[in-house]
Amino acid sequence: MLRRWALRALMPVGVIAFWTGMSIAAQRFPAQFDWRYMTISVLIYPERNPAGHVFASAGLVACALAGLLWVAAIAGVQRIRGLGVLAAGYLCMILSSLLPERLLELPNGHEILAILGFISMCGGLVAISAHYFSSQHNKPRVHPALLTAAALAPIACAGLTQAYLSYCRPELPWVGLAWRTLGVPVLLSFALWEWLACAVLSVFMTGIGIALGAPVRRSAC
């Protein structure tokens, strides 16, 4: 019983750790922090957030480690498509928090790993969620397309807004507080959609972590 509840708690605890770390990092940010115009990267880089970057990185790593432990525990008792992809997403989260462009001299390494992490986590969580709903024979099934749309919507909006800005507003600087002064619509902000993607993934992680947290016999999928 204790092991089952501990397994169910892994994902929610990881989500709480992420948001707690980011909240503390935002409070320690040396200037005003407006999540609608400021990305997660701003909180992680030491020169931009010298007093709070450790909390942001710690929250990110703690969330990813909790997710990896959950994946390893579930993989030991169930065969579910998407677990490997989800694990890859968590690994990208951990690596992105280490600022790889400095350690490995990889240009835009943090951004590349962050994008790969978001996509992998979305794909893994959607696949796992689809498996769960399809296995609930006494409950209404949720079509995988709806799950995919819900998970990928913020990421797709981020990509579309960046494409629009590249072609229609190339004179704009990278998203920041200056956008408010310039009167740029907040819906064009990459930071807004990045934070919303984190919120959506947090809901997926918490829900599926609790739902699949009780180990069952090994089953083929």
Q: pLDDT per residue over 139-197, tens digit each?
A: 555 666 777 788 889 988 998 999 999 999 999 998 999 998 898 999 999 999 999 99
d(CA 7, CA 29): 34
Give the residue from 90, 33, 92, 22 showing the smallest Cα distance to 58. 22
d(CA 22, CA 96): 15
**Cα angle 25-161-196, degrees, rounded to a multiple of 5:** 40
Question: Do 62 and 97 contact (CB within 8 A), yes or no?
Answer: no
Tokens 């694990």: give the residue. Answer: 87
CB atoms within 10 A of CB 217: 6
Structure token pair of residue 204: 């997926």
Tell me the pLDDT of the chain (221 aa) as tens digits: 556 777 889 999 999 999 999 999 999 999 999 999 999 999 999 999 999 999 999 999 999 999 999 999 988 887 888 999 999 999 999 988 887 766 666 667 778 888 899 899 988 998 888 888 777 655 555 666 777 788 889 988 998 999 999 999 999 998 999 998 898 999 999 999 999 999 999 999 999 888 886 544 444 33
Structure token pair of residue 45: 């880089």
Q: How far is residue 83 from each of residues 80, 88, 216, measured CA to CA in Å?
A: 6, 9, 16
